[in-house]
């Protein structure tokens, strides 16, 4: 006797899909729910998960993605063979395959929701740390750019350079820089209690060049609570990228906030490489914003940078020019759609709203 396909014991797993949508709906409609989850449940969950995955030096997330791809390819091949050979049971075979596929998707969707999805809807970092975001004037932006330009040129004198006169990290081992990033965040947590200490440092990605081809510098992997970093990118951007991904690990998923928090962490670091990285990256965002409003003034401020800083920026531009093409464009489009789907309506442009936070910080320091 053939059993009804609706009697599959795993069908209950499909409940993970509506449960995930319900949680995301509550988070989007009730900010208090999202913030309460972010400050109470998520820290315990992430600390526990990160303590397990942080015990190994390599990215478990990268291994997971590789194995998932292999598993899905093998499952599809097996499905095709069973369809070809099972003439009398093709409908049941197709039904079971789809159920298994949706069960897997549902479980991953639930983990995504609990480990980062809800956090997209929490209170903004500006709200939790008392920074006032408001419309800024062009003179304020000019002042910010000039200040960051001067600081970048000054800090550039404290870093080392390679044979091509471009900045090189003083510590060549990734693990040493990862530990510096971790310590910078632990120090930052004293002034910003919600940026809790106790997490492990970021991890290197073996397939970093592939990430560059996809126009990706780093990635927070929510299923394993790991901050993954592309190690192939120019050295001066690496400390900032490390801190950016560690910001996501601490529950701040919005890109503009992760950039700003990365700047704060780099600024608090005792290491010159980190301070230069954070300041130089902040200048890039600020001056790009000024260029949109006043290209002449932006160019004048850029020209005031030391030759060393300009060489680093030029090297960075040349590096990313190597990977321009359909793969990078497709990846950027996918990232843009992902961000918009998670309530970042500006898409990839949300990275630039870091400037609003920098201006708010500048005003608070003046007060």
pLDDT score at 5: 47
Residue 93: domain span: 5-121
pLDDT score at 351: 39
Q: Which two tokens stand for residue 302?
A: 């850029």
pLDDT score at 286: 93
pLDDT digits (tens, 9 = 90+) for 50-71: 999 999 999 999 999 999 999 9
Same domain, 151 and 105: no
pLDDT digits (tens, 9 = 90+) for 133-162: 888 888 999 999 999 999 999 999 999 998
pLDDT score at 201: 95
Structural domain contains residue 128 = no
What are the distances in angstroms from CA 75 to CA 6, 71, 94, 113? 21, 6, 12, 25
Task: Answer yes or no: is pLDDT of 289 > 50.
Answer: yes
Same domain, 174 and 109: no
**67-83 CB burial, b ≥16 within 10 A, e <16:** eeeeeeeeeeeebeebe
Same domain, 290 and 332: yes
pTM of the entire predicted model: 0.88
Mean of all residue pLDDT scores within the chain = 88
For the CA atoms of 352, 356, 357, 362, what is the dihedral angle to 10 degrees? 130
Same domain, 223 and 334: yes
User: Which one, of 226, 223, 173, 209, lies nearest residue 58 by Cα?
Assistant: 226
Task: Answer yes or no: is pLDDT of 10 > 80.
Answer: no
Task: Answer yes or no: is pLDDT of 122 > 80.
Answer: yes
Same domain, 95 and 146: no
Q: Domain end: 121, 154, 183, which one?
A: 121
pLDDT digits (tens, 9 = 90+) for 176-215: 999 999 999 999 999 999 999 999 999 999 999 999 998 8
Q: Domain end: 71, 92, 121, which one?
A: 121
pLDDT score at 94: 85
């Amino acid at each position: 006797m053939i059993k009804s396909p609706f009697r599959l014991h795993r069908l209950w797993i499909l409940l993970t899909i509506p449960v995930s949508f319900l949680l995301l709906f509550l988070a989007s409609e009730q900010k208090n729910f999202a913030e309460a989850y972010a400050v109470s449940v998520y820290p315990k969950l992430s600390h526990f998960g990160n303590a397990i995955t942080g015990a190994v030096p390599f990215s478990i997330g990268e291994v997971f993605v590789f194995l998932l791809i292999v598993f899905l390819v093998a499952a599809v091949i097996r499905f095709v063979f069973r369809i070809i050979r099972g003439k009398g049971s093709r409908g049941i075979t197709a039904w079971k395959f789809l159920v298994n596929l949706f069960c897997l998707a549902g479980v991953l969707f639930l983990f995504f929701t609990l480990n980062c999805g809800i956090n997209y809807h929490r209170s903004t970092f500006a709200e939790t740390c008392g920074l006032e975001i408001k419309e800024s004037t062009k003179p304020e932006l000019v002042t910010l750019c000039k200040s960051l330009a001067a600081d970048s040129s000054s800090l550039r004198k404290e870093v080392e350079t390679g044979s091509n006169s471009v900045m090189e990290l003083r510590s060549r081992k990734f693990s040493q820089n990862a530990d510096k990033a971790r310590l910078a965040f632990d120090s930052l947590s004293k002034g910003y209690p919600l940026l809790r200490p106790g997490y492990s440092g970021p991890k290197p990605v073996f397939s970093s060049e592939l990430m560059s081809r996809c126009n990706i510098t780093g990635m927070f992997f929510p299923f394993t609570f790991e901050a993954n970093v592309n190690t192939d990118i120019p050295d001066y951007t690496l400390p900032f990228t490390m801190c950016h991904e560690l910001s996501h690990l601490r529950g701040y998923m919005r890109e503009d906030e992760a950039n700003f928090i990365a700047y704060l962490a780099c600024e608090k670091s005792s290491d010159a490489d980190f301070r230069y990285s954070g300041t130089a990256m902040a200048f890039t965002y600020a001056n790009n914003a000024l260029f949109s409003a006043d290209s002449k003034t932006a160019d004048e401020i850029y020209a005031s940078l030391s030759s060393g800083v300009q060489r680093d920026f030029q090297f960075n531009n040349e590096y990313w020019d190597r990977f321009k093409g359909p793969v990078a464009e497709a990846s950027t489009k996918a990232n843009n759609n992902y961000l918009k789907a998670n309530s970042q309506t500006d898409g990839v442009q949300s990275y630039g709203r870091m400037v609003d936070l920098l201006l708010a910080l500048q005003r608070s320091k003046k007060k």
